Amino acid sequence: DKGNHRHFMMKEIHEQPAVVGQTLGTMIDPIQGHVTLPDMPFDLAKVDRVTIIACGTSYYAGQVAKYWLEQMARINVEVDVASEFRYREAVMPEGGLAVFISQSGETADTLAALRYAKSQGQHILSILNVPQSSMERESDVVLHTHAGPEVGVASTKAFTCQLSVLACLSIAIAKARGKIDDKEEARLCIALTEAPARMADVLNHEEAIKTLADDVAKARDVIYLARGLEYPIAMEGALKLKEISYIHAEGYAAGEMKHGPIALIDEDVPIIVIAPSGRLYEKTVSNMQEVIARKGQVIFITDEKGAASDGQDAVATIALPMLDEFVTPILYSIPVQLLAYYVAVAKGTDVDQPRNLAKSVTVE
Ligand code: F6R
């Protein structure tokens, strides 16, 4: 049932404040300000290496987690797509933690990668949405996303719930390794629990994004640029646009622009720059200026502080509410989902059932 929405994708985008809240509620005690995960059959404090494997959108959630875990927990993290990982004979010293992320729990390549990691003596932790899947049966521990059934082929609410679980897992690993204290844990938990309300704020202002869709729908190519925690969101935004609007799009690390892709830029290429204020803000804005100087048509997605200081030469600026830097990937997922949705609607594609795609990829 789509409720009063035209497509399941839109309904699922709008469910995000609620399902992210529910997912966080299973792990965060907001009064005590700490994260509690289910009992693990291994000691998180003894893990000194994390390998994260997934496909598609779930893989981008893993990319965000790499930044969180390295920064907060000071642990080695490797992330790969399952189709490459399963055949590349990765070296995995025993006792490492292997994390598998899957909405369906049935993706053939991710399941094969899980079996490989198991054969290499890794602890298997899976982050899954659909209950009682094949991956669930073969994992040592499962953290569930509480997104509910996701019908739209393009993943939206499962993704932000995956990020929510990964944020909690990162806090728990950081804590177990003694890299953050109780006070910092409480601060991070409070920041996370603010996410649902901020997501709802963004959804209440979706007109701002809708008005950009007609122009973006005319483009042949679209480039998303970001740094740090938002870099995977740039790639996710590009994937969403590709799969439902059939426009070629690429997510690029903003600093890589000058190593090639800047040659693509002219007045016909929309460039979506994602830059919340924070540690990498100035760097990303300077890449944005380079693009504008080459007549790139920039849509600047930032926060209230960023919008007040930069973006005068952008075609449009979307100002999101302020939120702790740590939580920004969860919030900034929403405008890229909405943009892809409205562009697809403008193009008249089949939003919920895009051509050539299946919801669950059970063949390799
Ligand atoms: C994109 C999308 C796919 C899936 C990928 C993995 O919107 O839905 O890229 O994310 O096929 O699927 P799961 O998470 O079920 O393993």
Whether 358 shows a pLDDT value over 90: the answer reads no
Percentage of the chain beyond pLDDT 90 is: 93
290 token code pair: 């380079």
Pocket of ligand 1 (CB under 6 A): 55-58, 102-104, 107, 110, 154-155, 239, 243, 360-361
Q: For residue 238, name the pLDDT band (cuts at 50, 70, 90).
A: very high
Beta carbons within 8 Å of 197's beta carbon, 6+ residues apart: 17
Q: Of all atoms in ligand 1, which is nearest to the CA of residue 159?
A: 10
Distance 123 CA to ligand 1 centre (A): 23
In this prediction, residues 267-277 reach a mean pLDDT of 96
Residue linked to tokens 């697809």: 344
Percentage of the chain beyond pLDDT 70 is: 100
d(CA 130, CA 360): 11
Ligand 1 probe mutation, 83, 155, 364, most atoms within 8 A of CB: 155
Ligand 1 probe mutation, 63, 81, 107, 353, most atoms within 8 A of CB: 107
**Is the distance from CB of 148 to CB of 15 less than 8 angstroms?**
yes
Whether 352 shows a pLDDT value over 90: the answer reads no
Whether 22 shows a pLDDT value over 90: the answer reads yes
Distance 224 CA to ligand 1 centre (A): 20
Q: What is the separation, in whole angstroms, between the first and last Cα of the chain?
A: 31
What are the angstrom distances between the C-alpha of 267 and each of 68, 85, 97, 295?
A: 36, 39, 47, 5
d(CA 278, CA 144): 30
Q: Of all atoms in ligand 1, which is nearest to the CA of residue 156?
A: 7
Q: DSSP state, 86?
A: T
Which region among 21-25, 65-69, 263-267, 359-363 has the lowest average model confidence (pLDDT)? 359-363
Say whether 359 is catalytic.
yes
3 token code pair: 């409720």
Whether 362 shows a pLDDT value over 90: the answer reads no
Extended strands (E) in the chain: 28-29, 34-35, 49-54, 76-81, 97-102, 123-128, 141-144, 221-226, 248-253, 270-274, 297-303, 316-320
In this prediction, residues 9-14 reach a mean pLDDT of 97
Distance 158 CA to ligand 1 centre (A): 9
Q: For residue 355, name the pLDDT band (cuts at 50, 70, 90).
A: confident
**Tens of pLDDT, residues 65-76:** 999 999 999 999
How far, in whole angstroms, is CA 54 from its chain's centroid? 12
* Mean of per-residue pLDDT scores for the chain: 96
In three state form, how does the secondary structure of 182-247 look? HHHHHHHHHHHHCHHHHHHHHHHCCHHHHHHHHHHHCCCEEEEEECHHHHHHHHHHHHHHHHHHCC
Q: Is 305 exposed, middle or buried (0-12, 13-18, 19+ CB in 10 A)?
A: middle
pLDDT at residue 364 in the model: 87
Q: Of all atoms in ligand 1, which is nearest to the CA of residue 240?
A: 7
Distance 58 CA to ligand 1 centre (A): 6
Ligand 1 probe mutation, 13, 53, 103, 133, most atoms within 8 A of CB: 103
- The closest alpha carbon to 149, from 6, 28, 329, 2, belongs to 2
In this prediction, residues 89-102 reach a mean pLDDT of 96
In this prediction, residues 223-238 reach a mean pLDDT of 98
Distance 336 CA to ligand 1 centre (A): 16
Q: Of all atoms in ligand 1, which is nearest to the CA of residue 54?
A: 16
Distance 55 CA to ligand 1 centre (A): 6
Q: Could you give the ipTM of this predicted complex? A: 0.99
List the beta bridge partners of residue 209.
Answer: none
Q: Of all atoms in ligand 1, which is nearest to the CA of residue 110?
A: 16
